[in-house]
Amino acid sequence: MKVSIIGSGNVATHLAKALYYAQVEITSIWSHQFENAELLANQVGAKSIKQISEITDDGSDIILISVKDDAIVEVATQLKNYRGVVAHTSGAAGLDVLNGNAHYGVFYPLQTFSKHTALDFSQVPLCLEANDTQSLQQLKMLATLISKNIYEVDSAQRKILHLSAVFACNFPNYLYGVAQQLLAQHQLDFDIIKPLIAETANKVQTALPIEVQTGPAVRNDEQTLKKHEDLLKEHTDWLMIYKLLSEQIKKTR
């Protein structure tokens, strides 16, 4: 199986490397910035190309579009003559954004990616969807080469997955940043609370979040809540978040 990739960002980089390590031939890589395509192509034994049109007859079986959501349609319209499967990697875009192509689908890796942070791709959930059985089977064949966790997920479900990921990943990471800044302002090292972060994430691997909720809000400890709010008086945005989340946690009691 041969694959071409459009994009060179975080997702594209991890996908390209995972496929390369799985002995999948990556034929071509295109990026808006040719230098980025060239850099990634050199790492995975692929050809970097300057025009998207070059990718339609490069001998690949699947083209993975890994670009910003608002660029997917623009890219896909340039692949109408492609005979293989065209799939995007977005969690928020629907399947139908590719309906100008004959065979199309979605190859969505549900994970947070940073270019220079290694991860075990075999544990990354891959959520698949396609417009026909043959295309779905091809995407499944490709997925099994790099991941142990493969799911058929339709566009409506995938949008909920993507939203859930924002609550489970992006928002907590922002709150980690708030904690880090609070600690730094008082000459405390962020490392002190890293075991707490790890233990919280570990607990929800075997229990529902609501079952392991701790802290002053779930105890309805108004005295402690007031002390915390007083400490945040100079940080009005953080105080607003603290109050909102505390009230929501109280409702879970």
**CA 212 to chain centroid:** 26
> What is the predicted pLDDT for the residue at 153?
97
Q: Are residues 74 and 177 in the same domain?
A: no
Q: Which of 57-61, 83-87, 121-125, 243-247 bottoms out in mean pLDDT, i.e. has the lowest?
A: 57-61
| CA dist., res. 242 & res. 164, Å (int) | 21
Q: Are residues 218 and 138 in the same domain?
A: no
Boundary-marking domain end, from 134, 153, 172? 153
Using one digit for the tens of pLDDT, what is the confidence trace for 29-81? 999 999 999 999 999 999 999 999 898 888 899 999 999 999 999 999 999 88
83 pLDDT band, cuts 50/70/90, is very high
Q: Are residues 141 and 190 in the same domain?
A: no
Q: Are residues 194 and 148 in the same domain?
A: no
What CATH number is associated with residue 176?
1.10.1040.20
Q: Are residues 80 and 113 in the same domain?
A: yes
117 pLDDT band, cuts 50/70/90, is confident
What CATH number is associated with residue 111?
3.40.50.720
Residue (of 49, 60, 99) closest to 83 by Cα position: 60
Q: Are residues 6 and 112 in the same domain?
A: yes
234 pLDDT band, cuts 50/70/90, is very high
> What is the predicted pLDDT for the residue at 198?
97
Q: Both tokens of residue 198?
A: 């790890």
pLDDT beyond 90 at 174: yes
Boundary-marking domain end, from 122, 153, 184? 153
Boundary-marking domain end, from 153, 178, 197? 153
Q: Are residues 174 and 204 in the same domain?
A: yes
> What is the predicted pLDDT for the residue at 118?
86
Distances (CA, A) of 218 to 192, 242, 253: 23, 13, 6
What is the dihedral sign for C-alpha 238, 175, 252, 200?
negative
| Residue 232, domain extent | 159-250
Q: Are residues 131 and 32 in the same domain?
A: yes
Distances (CA, A) of 236 to 84, 233, 245: 53, 6, 14
pLDDT beyond 90 at 133: yes
Q: Are residues 90 and 69 in the same domain?
A: yes
Q: Are residues 173 and 95 in the same domain?
A: no
Q: Are residues 45 and 139 in the same domain?
A: yes
Q: Are residues 90 and 163 in the same domain?
A: no
| CA dist., res. 129 & res. 107, Å (int) | 7
Q: How many domains does the chain have?
A: 2
Distances (CA, A) of 91 to 30, 125, 157, 165: 21, 12, 10, 10
> What is the predicted pLDDT for the residue at 253?
83
85 within 8 A of 139, measured Cβ to Cβ: yes
